[in-house]
Amino acid sequence: MKKVRIRKNSSLIVFLVDLSWSMAVTKRMAATKKAITTILTKAYQFRDDVCLITFQKEGADLVIPPTHSIALAERS
């Protein structure tokens, strides 16, 4: 008998949020924030990373760089 350990690869989950002019932007950002914190708390075991990128018209901003830290995500 031989003990075999299989290591799961970590994943990068990217959230892209459209901030174009709309009445639902605040609702979208609140839902995105909740989803990111939920995924980070569940993904801690697997060391999955999450990042948030917002875009509007021709530009994009990296709001939360790839991280598995819940504290860093909440600060951003």
The share of the chain scoring above pLDDT 90, in percent, equals 8
Neighbours of 52 (CB within 10 A): 23
What DSSP character marks residue 47?
T
Give the pair of three-digit tokens for residue 49.
């990373």
Contacts of 63 (CB under 8 A, 6+ apart): 52, 53, 54, 76
Q: What is the mean pLDDT of residues 20-31?
A: 76
| pTM for this model (two decimals) | 0.71
Tokens of 2: 């031989």
Q: Give the per-residue pLDDT at 62.
A: 92
Please tell me the predicted confidence (pLDDT) of residue 21.
72
What mean pLDDT, rounded, does the chain reach? 81
Stronger pLDDT, 58 or 23, i.e. the higher one: 58
Phi first, then psi, for residue 53 (nearest 5°) are: -125, 130
Predicted local confidence at residue 22, as pLDDT: 66
**pLDDT above 80 for 32:** yes
